[in-house]
Structures are given as C-alpha cells and as structure tokens.
A and B are shown apart, each in its own frame.
Chain A
Amino acid sequence: MKNIGLCLVFIAVSAICFAQVSDSLVYPEVTVTEQRIEEAIGSSVSETDTLLYKLLQSKGLTQVLETESFISTRSYNPGGTAVFSVRGSGPQHTQVVWDGIPINDPMLGQTDLSTVSLSGVSGVRVLYGGAGLTNNSGGIGGTIELLSTKPRTEDGVDVKLNGYAGSFGTYGVSLLLRDRYKKLFGSTSIEYQTSRNNFKFRNLATIAQEDKMLEHALVKRIGFTKSLGLNINQRNTLSATVYYSQVSKELPPSMLMVASIETLFDRDIWASLKWRRIGKKSVITATAAYIYGNQQYFDQNEYTFHHLYQANKNLVRYKLDLGYNLHFEAGGDAFNEHARSDSSYRSQPHWRFWQAAFASLKYVPKKWVAAQVLVREDVIDGTFSPFQGLVGVEVKPTKWFSIKGNVARNFRAATLDDLYWVPGGNRDLKNETGFSWEGGLAFKTGIKTFRFGFDATYFQSEIDNWIIWLPQGNVWTPQNKRAVSSKGIETKLEASVTTGKLLFKLNGAYTWVSSKVTEGATANDASVGNQLIYVPLHQAKAHFSVHFAKLFLLYGHQFTGLRYTTSDNKSSLPAYQISYVTLGYEYTLKKHTMGINFTVDNLFNIAYQTIAWRPMPGRSFLINLSYQFN
C-alpha cells in the first residue's frame, strides 16, 4: 500500500515535471515505449523513434540510449569509453544482443557502448527488467537489442547515403544499400566517422582555472555490415550476416592529468548464419554465430594489454500456436566462450561452456487480458544456475487504459575476469541472483487531430551476492559481499496535435531510481543505505517538434540529477541540463529524396561532466546531408 501511494505521488510529480519542461519545449517525432504483446507480457519495452534515430545515429549508441530510453549513460569524453545503468543496476547487469545473439564481452561482462557501430543497425530496443529472459539470462537490469536492417520485400534496390560535418573535427559518412532479386536479398552498410573532440573547457582543477583545449581525444570508427539471404522456398529462409567494427581512440587526460598518450583500439566481428522455417502454426529458427572481440591498449609507459575473446553461439527457437489463444515457445542455447589476455590472465587461455533452455507459454486473446509464464535454466561449465522465471499479466479493460505487471527471477554469472584475473581471480564466486517485479498503467487516447498517451511503471529489484572487488593485502579479489535493492518509477508522455498543415509533437519521460546497498561488504561498510555511484536519482528528458510538410524544427531537453561519486554519498557531481535543437528539411523528387539537418548541441553552452573531472563539450554544430533512392 505504501508503495502504491509512493507510485501515485511520483506519477503526479512526473506529470508536473513534464508540464514544467514542456512549457519551454519545442520538438520532433519521437517514439515511445510501448507494451508489445509479442514480447514478455507485462514488461516494459522502449524502441527508438525513426526520426530521432536517424538524427542520432551519427552520434553513436551512447547518445541514442541517453536520448531515447530510461538508461543513464556516462562516458569519459564524446566517443570515449561509455558505460550505463538500467534501472539502477550496473553495466554488467544488462545484456546487449545483436539479432538475438548476446554480445557482451565475457571478460568484463559488459559492452562498451562506444565500440558499437550503428552501421547496419536499423534501430535499438530496450527490454527492461526480466523482459529479456526469452533471449538470454544475465539481464537483471534489462536487455538492449540492436536490430539489424530489415531486408527489402520487393525486387529492386534502395540506397541511403548520409554525410555530416560538425564542430571539433567531426565528420563522417555512411552508406546503406539494400537489394532483392527474386529469392535473393541482401544489404550492405558502411560507416566511417571521426572526431578530434578538441573542444575548449574550463579546467577547474587548476588554480588559474584557465580555459584549455581537450587534447589527445581523437576517435575514429569504421563499421561494415554485409547481409545475404535466400528464400529457399515459401517456408524456408537462409540468411548470413557479418558485422565488423573497429574503433581507435585516443584516451584524453582528465582535468587532473597534464597529458596522456594512451590509446585504445577495439575490433569486433559478429557473424551469424540463420535458418528460419515458417510452418502453418509454428516457426523454428536456428542460428549459429561467431563473436570476436579484441582490445589493445597502449600508453606512454611499459604497460600495454591485449585482450582477445571469441565465442561460438548456437541458438534454437521454436514457436507454436497451440490454439485457444495459447502460444508456446521453447529454445535452447549452446555457447562456447574463449578468452585470452596477456595482462589479465598472463596469456593463459580460458574457456567457458554455457548451455541454456527455456520454455514459455503465453495466453494472448484478442480481447482484454494476456498472460505469460516462462521458465529458464542455464548450465555453466556443468553447474546449474539458479532457476529463472517470469510471470506476467496485462489487462486492458478499455481501449484507452491498460495495466500490466510481472515478477521475474534472473541471475548473472561471474565474468571471466572475476574468475581468472591474475592475481586475485576467484573461482569460488557464486552467481548474483536477482528478483524483480514491476507494475504499470497506461492511458492512450486520440482523435484524428489529437493523440495522447501516458504510462507509468513502478519497478523493484533485489540483487543478492553482488560481486565487488576488494583488496586482500596487496591483491584485489572479487567477492560476493553485497546486496543491492533498486526501485523506481518510469513515466512517459506523448502527445501530438494537428492544426491545418502544422503538426506538433511532444514526448517526455521522467525516471526516478533509488538504487541502494542493503548489505555491506564489511561490518562498517559506509555504502550501506546509500545510492549507487553514478546512478542519478532523477532524470527527465523531453522533445518537442513542429512539422510543416517536410520541414521540421526539433527541440530536445535533458535533465540529469545529482550523481554520487563515492559509495558513502559524500561526494557528487552536480545536476545538469542540456538541450539541443535541429532544423531539418527533406525534398522528394520521384524516387529521390534529399535531406538536410542542422543541429546545435548543448544549445546553452552548459559546462557539465558525466564522469568526474572529464569535461564534456560546450555548444557545437553539426550539419547533415542525406540522399535516399528508393
């Protein structure tokens, strides 16, 4: 009862917060998180909006997630190493999947968002909480899905060419080509992007507080994706995709360092071969994938490292319509991971064999109620994981109102670094276990010229056996010594109004996340009862756009609350607000469409940091030219 009251209070607060933001907003077409009956029932999902994704694609996955989801991100510099938090969890508690294939680095157990090229990625979807269990385990916070470019459905060719240039030596080009000839189809995408990131900032760490230029922050990214497919017959399809991405980064000094000549090179290759058979009432999909990751770090000293991991991942999914509105799904995974590192493991190779199986039953009638039960079990190197499961319900008593909820149990396995790091790796670590539940409501209504939607979700999760690295004398070693409790509210609002030839759109979101340590690593652990570091308690974002035929003006505004930088919450980074504006126009002549967008980022030239002592750029400009042939 107390939680329901709290929930209502925060929904009200979020609405007020949104109203305050909306007074000063102006902005574009944005997507919204929408309950998807084909996903885990009763769970929250958000998907990128087409226009916003197009605008943000050149800025990378970090910016896409920061703008279009409830995820909180932080990076050392634009394009630099970036991590994130979903629902107050750590980056290791979120799985990143590409076409259903988990791609997290098994050594660190997470994905550096800055290394992901969005070449060949048509959109991004975030499954919150236990919603990702169908795909994978480990996503206690959630799952980020990278969606591949969809193939053409008709014979022919289409092309998208995009080029942009902006402040701080930023420019890039990307090309996407899709073609289909009868049973053969495919796509090719190439991306090149570079930015010197040589922006000015005020160095607050010096007595003079002089303005300084960020140095040694060059980022270069190359992305390539090739996909080929064959419709063998009406029922069977075979497709193969190769994704390649390489990022070379100079690692700039913080405000507290005089200089740096550190560099990091990252190369990722993901390849998949997929067979899909569509039966009368069933669909079976079998995927064989190869995942490769390589990081090379160099600095001015004698310290360098080379990490290499490879994995083959085989997944089978089977869906069957049982009739009576019942949908059965089962699947199995067989992963084989291998990692080697000259520094972390002293060149010793390590292997991990991972199998998993799940079964799900959904009741999805066309009318007002839907429900799902899912069970899952993983086996890692012969050891059974904690039992996982999800029970979800969605009720839609009217056309304009729905409620939803789920309860899930998940786990996260120790990473290979946790197990095998030399020195200090701990092979006796237990899995982290997570129990989560959420409940939400949604309103949606609209007439021809007006649409309005609002939804709010309350979530809570408890993670036990949280792994933390602590020193034993000189040596740091991971231990299962913490428990963390997270709860929060996610609210979203969207509205659009059409007046004559003008279309106004408004989209806003507010998140409140309380993620606190409930069990300490030591008797006097000062983190107990305190918010996890770098997890903002409050976050709000809104976009407002005005559209007139093919012309649009978009304004985005983002508020990130105070973030603590020490676990006793005695040090923090202040809250900040940044905004951006884009003016865009598209011209179509028969099959040719040309577009131009002009964006001003950090419109009010706000000085802010997402990681302590790491400056972020002030006001910057970007012009984007696009051509599309269809």
Chain B
Amino acid sequence: MKKLFLLPLAAILTLASCDTKDPDDTTNYDSFTKGVFVVHEGNFQAGNASLSFFNKYNDTMSNGVFTSVNSIPLGDVGQSMVTIGDLGFIVVNNSGKIEVVNLEDLSSKGTITGLSSPRYICVVTNTKAYVSDLFSGVITIFDPQTLATSGTIAVTGQIEEMVKTSSGVIAAGTGANQVYKINTLNNTLMDSVNVGVGPSNVVMDANGKIWIMTNGGWGTEAQKLVCINPVNMDIEISLDFTLADYPSSLKTNAAGTALYWANGGVFKMDVATTSIPTTAFISTAAYKVNADPETDMIYVSDAGDFNSNGHVYRYTAAGAAVDTFEVGVIPGEFTFTP
C-alpha cells in the first residue's frame, strides 16, 4: 500500500526530470535553423523534387518539408540550396526558379523567376549573389534581400559551381572548358584558365587554393582533379582519373584539409597529397557527399534506382557508420545551416 502511494509521486518526479528545458530558453527546436537540408533532384520532368531536413536538435529527418509547409510541390529537378541570413534559397533547375523560404518555419518568402536553367548560387555579399546557369549564357546577379535580379554577367557556355575567394568568384565554365574568375566589384570576367574538359565542381581548401573536378566531357577524356591558385589562376596540380572512373560531388572536410568525392564509394584525399587514392574511404553506394562544417560528420546520399526514395547515410569523420535515413527521390546536395 505504501508502495502504491509512492507511485504517483514517482511519476510526477519522472515527468519533471524529463523536462530539462530551461524556462528562459526561447529556441524553437522545430525550426529549420540548425540542421542539414537535403535537396532532392527528383526525376527530370516528373516534378517530384523535394526537400528534407535533418534536425540536429533531435537527430530526426523530416521529408517533403517544403511541400508540407507551403502545400505546393517544390518543382522539377531540385539542384542546390544556400542559406543567407535567415533565408534559404532553393534552386529548382528545370522549373527555372529559386524558391526562397524563411528558415524559421520554411514558409515561402517568394520566388525568383525568369531564370533559364539555374544551377548553383554563390553568395557574394548580403545584398549580392550570383546564380549560374546551364543554358542562358549568363550568370545572373540578384539581391538576396529584395529577391530582385539586378543584372547578368555574360559568359560562354554552361556554368556550374562557383566559390567566393578573396580575389573574386571562381566559376566552373563547363561549356567552354574554362574556369573563370569574376571581379565582384564590377561583375566582370577578370581571368580564365583551361583546366581540362568540363570543369564542374569547385571548392576552396584551407590554404585558399581552388580545387576543380572536371567531367571529362562525359567520356571525351579522363576526368581531372586540378588545383589552381585563385590569385594568378596558375595551375598548381593536375591529376588524372582513369577512364573507368566517373567521380563527382567534390567537397572538402570541415577544416578544408581534405577533399571528398563520390565515385561509387566515397573517396578522401588530403590536399597535401598529389596522387588520387585508388581505394574508397567509405565503401557505399554514393551519389553525393558532403561534410558538416560544424561537426565534420560525413553525409552520403544513395539514390537507389533513381526512381524511388533514396537514403542518406551518416558517417563520422573517421568513416564509421552512424545512422541511415530514408529520404526522397534522388537525394542530391546537402546544405548545412550556419
């Protein structure tokens, strides 16, 4: 009887101990401000692009979050995403638009339209960003605050990824086999260098050097991994993959001291190394890869048969598997909140 009497008290104490939330804590744990977005390409012309969000507060993955919040589909071919302040910019390639959302609740802030085949955004300042494009022959300039486009930079052919450096923006000119350097003050091309056929991925390492991965013209030549100095655009390292390799998704670790890419599995190369590793760092079906700049955790996407829900695998920086989440159709780029 005495024990029975103690039960409600124990329950109250247990419940109280579960609620460890600081009463002064105003953090919205359900917001989209601390986590990882997974941009899903979906199938070309199928309109099943989507957005997932991995919430770092509670380690949960939520799928289709853009549609859940805004009650409309994201669009056709989700390409990439960046965050600028409290806004998220989702590039939807075949819909020719950028969906802009509030990161607090993911509600729609607006849509930037009039783009041809947008691919990636490079944030220059809080009031200026560039959007690359596959087909328009221009890089479009827009203001992330007003969402208004303010001009274009004429280029030759397709432009893929871009990265901002202290001496300008470096852009991968896939169509013209050139890596461009753009003066961000007057939005003009300053310089260019030929690094091989089809430069696509660009990242900056801890030393401020730019690493570029080419696509080889889809079989025209072996793909290359090239390091250039963004100041003088000199090629410092140029490494060839074999013709049997089809690497993609070049990224850096949090410190910028190592490169990751997907080529069947996940490959890792120290930036001080001058030879391409031949064995995978993580053996898994990898479509895209990226590393969390805060925790260095490695995120890998597996697109399965490219017509069904894919998976995201998480690994420690040492390559140990952590967990797996089912996500949407063709999980592509990972975007980490600041």
Instruction: State whether B73 touches A567 (Cβ < 8 A).
Output: no
Complex interface bits, B58-72 against A, C-beta within 8 A gives 1, otherwise 0: 000000000000111
Residue of chain A at shortest CB distance from B310? A526
CA distance A259 to B157 in the complex (A): 22
Residues of B within 8 A of A254 (CB): 45, 47, 76
Complex interface bits, A445-484 against B, C-beta within 8 A gives 1, otherwise 0: 0000000000000000000000010111111000000000
Complex interface bits, A294-319 against B, C-beta within 8 A gives 1, otherwise 0: 00000111110000000000000000
**Segment among A134-142, A280-288, A516-524, A594-602 that sits at the interface with chain B:** A516-524
Residues of A within 8 A of B307 (CB): 527, 533, 566-568
Q: Does B108 contact A (CB under 8 A)?
A: yes
Residues of B within 8 A of A256 (CB): 47, 73, 75-76, 92, 94-95
Partner of B96, one of A255, A258, A612: A258
Residues of A within 8 A of B137 (CB): 302
Q: Which of B46, B48, B94, B135 has the most CB of A within 10 A?
A: B46
Residues of B within 8 A of A567 (CB): 305, 307-308
Q: Does B134 contact A (CB under 8 A)?
A: yes
**Segment among B10-18, B242-250, B290-298 that sits at the interface with chain A:** B242-250
Instruction: State whether A471 touches B116 (Cβ < 8 A).
Output: no
Instruction: State whether B135 touches A302 (Cβ < 8 A).
Output: yes
CA distance A25 to B248 in the complex (A): 58
Residues of A within 8 A of B264 (CB): 472-473
Residues of B within 8 A of A565 (CB): 46, 48
Within 8 A of A (CB), among B240-268: 245-248, 262-264
Instruction: State whether A475 touches B219 (Cβ < 8 A).
Output: yes
Instruction: State whether A303 touches B76 (Cβ < 8 A).
Output: no
Residues of A within 8 A of B215 (CB): 474
Instruction: State whether A257 touches B71 (Cβ < 8 A).
Output: no
Instruction: State whether B134 touches A301 (Cβ < 8 A).
Output: yes
CA distance A472 to B47 in the complex (A): 23
Q: Does B113 contact A (CB under 8 A)?
A: yes
Q: Which of A259, A303, A567 has the most CB of B within 10 A?
A: A567
Contact size class for B? 35 or more
CA distance A605 to B228 in the complex (A): 61
Q: Does A621 contact B (CB under 8 A)?
A: no
Instruction: State whether A526 touches B72 (Cβ < 8 A).
Output: no
Residues of B within 8 A of A207 (CB): 70-72, 108
Given that A207-B71, A258-B113, A566-B309 are contacting pairs, would A475 and B47 also be in contact in the complex, using a CB cutoff of 8 Å? no
Instruction: State whether B218 touches A474 (Cβ < 8 A).
Output: yes
Residue of chain A at shortest CB distance from B246? A473
Instruction: State whether B308 touches A527 (Cβ < 8 A).
Output: yes
Within 8 A of A (CB), among B52-111: 70-73, 75-76, 92, 94-97, 108
Residues of B within 8 A of A299 (CB): 135
Instruction: State whether A527 touches B305 (Cβ < 8 A).
Output: yes
Residue of chain B at shortest CB distance from A569? B308
B75 to chain A, nearest CB (A): 5
Q: Does A571 contact B (CB under 8 A)?
A: yes
Instruction: State whether B47 touches A473 (Cβ < 8 A).
Output: no
Q: Does A39 contact B (CB under 8 A)?
A: no
Residue of chain A at shortest CB distance from B248? A474
B102 to chain A, nearest CB (A): 14
Instruction: State whether B97 touches A258 (Cβ < 8 A).
Output: yes
Q: Which of B45, B94, B137 has the most CB of A within 10 A?
A: B45
Q: Does A381 contact B (CB under 8 A)?
A: no
Within 8 A of B (CB), among A216-269: 254-259
Instruction: State whether A205 touches B309 (Cβ < 8 A).
Output: no
Complex interface bits, B286-329 against A, C-beta within 8 A gives 1, otherwise 0: 01000000000000001111111101000000000000000001
Given that A207-B108, A300-B135, A474-B246 are contacting pairs, would A571 and B48 also be in contact in the complex, using a CB cutoff of 8 Å? yes
Residues of B within 8 A of A301 (CB): 116-117, 134-136
Residues of B within 8 A of A474 (CB): 215, 218, 223, 246-248
Instruction: State whether B108 touches A568 (Cβ < 8 A).
Output: no
B101 to chain A, nearest CB (A): 12
Partner of A257, one of B94, B175, B245, B248: B94
Residues of B within 8 A of A471 (CB): 246, 287, 303, 306
Q: Does A623 contact B (CB under 8 A)?
A: no
Complex interface bits, A193-226 against B, C-beta within 8 A gives 1, otherwise 0: 0000000000011110000000000000000000
Partner of B47, one of A255, A422, A470, A568: A255
Q: Does A155 contact B (CB under 8 A)?
A: no
Q: Does B285 contact A (CB under 8 A)?
A: yes
Instruction: State whether A521 touches B72 (Cβ < 8 A).
Output: no
Q: Does A156 contact B (CB under 8 A)?
A: no
Q: Which of A204, A259, A612 has the most CB of B within 10 A?
A: A612
Partner of A524, one of B117, B223, B304: B304
Residues of A within 8 A of B75 (CB): 205, 256
CA distance A571 to B64 in the complex (A): 12
Q: Does A423 contact B (CB under 8 A)?
A: yes
Residues of A within 8 A of B46 (CB): 565, 612-613
Instruction: State whether B95 touches A258 (Cβ < 8 A).
Output: yes
Instruction: State whether B116 touches A568 (Cβ < 8 A).
Output: no
Given that A301-B116, A302-B137, A612-B48 are contacting pairs, would A257 and B76 also be in contact in the complex, using a CB cutoff of 8 Å? yes
Residues of A within 8 A of B47 (CB): 205, 254-256, 612-613
Residues of A within 8 A of B305 (CB): 468, 470, 520-522, 525-527, 567
Residues of B within 8 A of A204 (CB): 72
Residues of B within 8 A of A612 (CB): 46-48
Residues of A within 8 A of B285 (CB): 522, 524
Residues of A within 8 A of B116 (CB): 300-301
CA distance A521 to B75 in the complex (A): 27
Residues of B within 8 A of A206 (CB): 72
B273 to chain A, nearest CB (A): 21
CA distance A244 to B134 in the complex (A): 37
Instruction: State whether B263 touches A473 (Cβ < 8 A).
Output: yes
Within 8 A of B (CB), among A412-436: 422-424
Which 3 residue pairs spanning A and B have beta carbons closest together? A473-B246, A301-B135, A423-B219
Known contacts A256-B47, A257-B96; can you find 8 more A-B pairs with CB under 8 A?
A: A254-B47, A256-B76, A257-B95, A471-B303, A473-B247, A527-B305, A566-B308, A570-B309
- B residues contacting A by CB (< 8 A) are 43, 45-48, 70-73, 75-76, 92, 94-97, 108, 113-114, 116-117, 134-137, 157, 175, 215, 218-219, 223, 245-248, 262-264, 285, 287, 302-309, 311, 329
Q: List 13 A-B contacts (CB under 8 A).
A: A256-B47, A300-B135, A302-B137, A471-B303, A473-B245, A473-B264, A474-B215, A524-B311, A525-B305, A526-B305, A526-B308, A527-B305, A612-B46
- A residues contacting B by CB (< 8 A) are 204-207, 254-259, 299-303, 422-424, 468, 470-475, 520-522, 524-527, 533, 565-568, 570-571, 612-613
